[in-house]
A and B are shown apart, each in its own frame.
Chain A
């Protein structure tokens, strides 16, 4: 290590990029002890408020969550009885939990794949557009920025049975027989809410893909075009491999979002009709705050997090492997 440091100090001109960041060890070796002490003192001072906030509002409630899981807390009892794993066994046998879990799975599958397909399509469309691309970016990304309560209200009108735009459009194109109260029908309610969520998520996926596409080698795409590859083949074999790490990252984010979906369902249907749109998030909320089953709700919330962790880790690993390969190439 010391030889590395001296070699670098002896021949700084040989560096390819003069502003490249040097390894930390080099800094330390060149920093006098007084400075190091002053730096450490200031460092602790600057981190302290953050650490205090994180400890009180993040770590403490997380530790409490683990405690709540093993007791039967109703919100008032200062010394709730210890019940071990009863919350978990009850959870595993609760048909409502499984129904909600099934809805989460549907949500994760459709709510991840649809925005990725649409978002990628839009990004490829806007990719080489020069004029007006800011306009498109605003139009597509804006829905993602809006508060979900407002989104829920407006889409409630679009799905409205008698005067809503969806049914009106269906009647205009001669599909009036399909018209229905989309949010009131247990068969369609979940998919109607999902449709709204997809509308809101597409822009997020689009913006990320668009920025990833900027790094794609255009000459390679042109060469493939001259070789007679059609649009789909170019996307599949030339573009996608180059943006794979970003593709996996977007998948992870939307997929994990599907585990903890809450706002949009809570606002649009509240879990109804007859539990048709109940997801784990709304079920945990109503258990804790409407039925005063604090511990049961907390257990459910904790389980949601725990089952989502393997997905996050797996995706992250795959992504890291791919981006390392990308750097080697």
Chain B
């Protein structure tokens, strides 16, 4: 297939260069809104008033400082972590355990339970969000860290279980048979033999779930009505409603909201993409 003359080779190289130029242009277009955010967030107060969207025409950290203190983004950051970290841990631990059981431990009623869990993948959160509000109210879980963490976790559990089950199913049967002959208990087989083999899956699930919870807007909007423990997403929305003319601090608040996402995604691009791919392909 590769009988190419010198002439078509140069032509191929030119074509490739053109392709790269096109792709670079499109990439720049895609990340332009991010560039705009950084630029406006780092402007001086005067420059924001005169020329809010001119790119990098001045430099100052005053917007960041104002968003952090006056705009309360400092406490929103803390709340975002308080809502994302425990719920992510809960998803990872429960999904890994259940995924293992659904993949490798036969027990009565297993497939029925699995179908119930998968139901969570089919029914959007939207369908039951309103009754859930009143349920949480009567359980005393509205406006509480515990309640919102539990709800956030429950929105990720179905996917997590599905995801981890696929990893455990792919491991060879000979593994646990050998461990059993060596006298390992069922729990030891899970903990010492199987768990280390799916660590890449656990990593992908953790990053993916954390980002989902960090980005979640509807859950804190609905279930933290008083505003105690308000995270970055609803905090930014509140700021937008109250002071949309205050473009400088608003840009800084936006930057604070997206910065952890951008850093985590760029650092763990492979794991995040894997999470999405398997979620989409198997879901």
Residues of A near any B CB (own CB < 8 A) = 19, 21-22, 24, 27-28, 30, 35-36, 38-44, 46-47, 49-51, 53-54, 56-62, 64-65, 67-68, 73, 75, 122, 125-126, 129, 132, 134-143, 145-158, 160, 163-165, 199, 202-204, 207-208, 211, 219, 222-223, 226, 246, 249-250, 253, 256, 259-260, 262-263, 267, 281, 284, 288-289, 294, 297-298, 301-302, 304-305, 312
Q: Is the CB of B127 within 8 A of A65?
A: yes
Task: Give the most central of A35, A157, A163: most B CB within 10 Å.
Answer: A157
State the majority secondary structure of interface residues on A: helix
A-B pair number, CB within 8 angstroms: 277
CA distance A105 to B218 in the complex (A): 22
Please judge, given known A-B contacts A154-B33, A155-B33, A301-B126, whether A165 and B266 are in contact too, CB under 8 Å.
no
A50-B161, A68-B131 given; name 20 further pairs at CB < 8 Å. Answer: A24-B106, A42-B190, A49-B97, A51-B117, A58-B154, A61-B132, A61-B135, A62-B127, A136-B23, A141-B269, A147-B217, A148-B217, A149-B257, A152-B240, A202-B30, A211-B277, A246-B281, A260-B124, A260-B126, A304-B127
Give min CB distance, B170 to chain A, whole Å: 8
User: At the interface, yes or no: B52 with Cβ under 8 Å from chain A?
Assistant: yes
CA distance A150 to B105 in the complex (A): 44
User: At the interface, yes or no: B272 with Cβ under 8 Å from chain A?
Assistant: yes
Q: Is the CB of A140 within 8 A of B135?
A: no
- Interface size of B in residues (CB-CB distance below 8 Å): 99
Q: Is the CB of A43 within 8 A of B110?
A: yes
Q: Is the CB of B153 within 8 A of A53?
A: yes
Q: Is the CB of B187 within 8 A of A42?
A: yes
Please judge, given known A-B contacts A42-B187, A50-B95, whether A302 and B101 are in contact too, CB under 8 Å.
no
Q: Is the CB of B101 within 8 A of A149?
A: no
By a CB distance below 8 angstroms, the chain A residues around B187 are: 42
Q: Is the CB of B128 within 8 A of A262?
A: no
Pick 12 A–B contacts, CB within 8 A, sort by A: A51-B98, A64-B131, A137-B269, A142-B262, A143-B33, A149-B234, A149-B236, A149-B240, A150-B257, A153-B250, A253-B280, A253-B283
